[in-house]
Amino acid sequence: MTYDKAIEWLYSTQLFGIKLGLENPRRLLREYLAFPPRATKVIHVAGTNGKGSTCAFIDAVSRATGNRTGLFTSPHLVRYNERVRISGVEISDDDVARHLTALRGIAESWDTHPTFFELTLALAMKQFTEQACDLVVLETGMGGRLDATTAVPADVAVLTSIALDHQQWLGDSLAAIAAEKAAIIVPKKPAITTPQPPEVQAVIAQEANERRAPLEVIEEPLRGYALGLPGAHQGYNAAAALAALHAAGIPLGYESVKAGLGAVHHPGRFETLPASVAHTLKVESEITLDIAHNPSAAEALAATWRAHPGHRRAALVFGA
């Protein structure tokens, strides 16, 4: 298939909807990658808010230390290829087409067809394996316990801010949602969490204890470094990222940490768009884009706006 045809086919699989469970992704990984044999280290990140930013911090610092790093995130903002990056570079159209053509040949005979997300995960892991990545960073799609990314054995689990979201899938209470996300913790493997509400922290501690997993709680934001992502809350995400890299055995030096944290870029995180965009939209004001889509994230966005130098009254356009 060409790239366009491959993407068209992949999007057609959205008809199968959201399907939580590990059977399909495990089968795809076995059949397409001869998985799970691997030498690559894996950091797995779950949470309601901040998981994408934390993944970006991990990726940037890892690359600054000289590691070949694979990053899997979702959703994309503009183009599908954003979801899979190696050493900061998006996967090529040719590689996307090649992988999806092969996956279509595998999956179309299945009684239970893989979903868009499951196929994308298999594509990413195959690319990371082919490119001999030293470290792979995986962002969950939703939840954790039955999220496709949990089919990949991880060396470190990271839990970012947990709040109410996707209740129809994950549960109606903070404790229920926390239990779903904390299930990414691997027995006897390190786990990191940013500050959480008491009921969430209790669930995470219980899950870690039952799995005999050492748990590190980030109690203070990272200070002393300039961060490429604005907002006080990003200090906690950056601290969690460094803790995760340390737990994974990645050597960290001051200069590489400084360079990575300062260079990190993740679209849609309090991002000021170029003036050309405002001109195209016939807007005279500066446009700031943020992906905040739930009350907890909106509170963080508001705090970042108030703390932003020269902040002023703004017109808010919201869609979720």
Where are the chain's structural domains? 3-266, 270-320
pTM check: above 0.85: yes
Q: Check residue 281 and give its pLDDT.
A: 65
Q: Which residues of the chain have pLDDT under 70?
A: 16-18, 35-39, 165-169, 171, 267-279, 281-285, 287, 289-312, 314-320
Q: Check residue 233 and give its pLDDT.
A: 85
Q: Check residue 299 and give its pLDDT.
A: 64
Spatial strand order of the sheet with 135-139 comes to 89-90, 84-86, 69-72, 135-139, 41-46, 156-159, 191-193, 215-217
Nearest to 133 by CA among 194, 237, 53, 42: 42
* Two structure tokens written together for 207: 């899950």
Give pLDDT tens digits for 73-122: 998 888 999 999 999 999 999 999 999 999 999 998 888 889 999 999 99
Superfamily of domain 3-266: Mur-like, catalytic domain (3.40.1190.10)
Do 114 and 24 meet the contact criterion of CB atoms below 8 Å apart? yes
Q: Check residue 304 and give its pLDDT.
A: 63
Tell me the CA distances in angstroms from 245 to 35, 65, 169, 240, 250, one per residue in order: 24, 11, 30, 9, 5
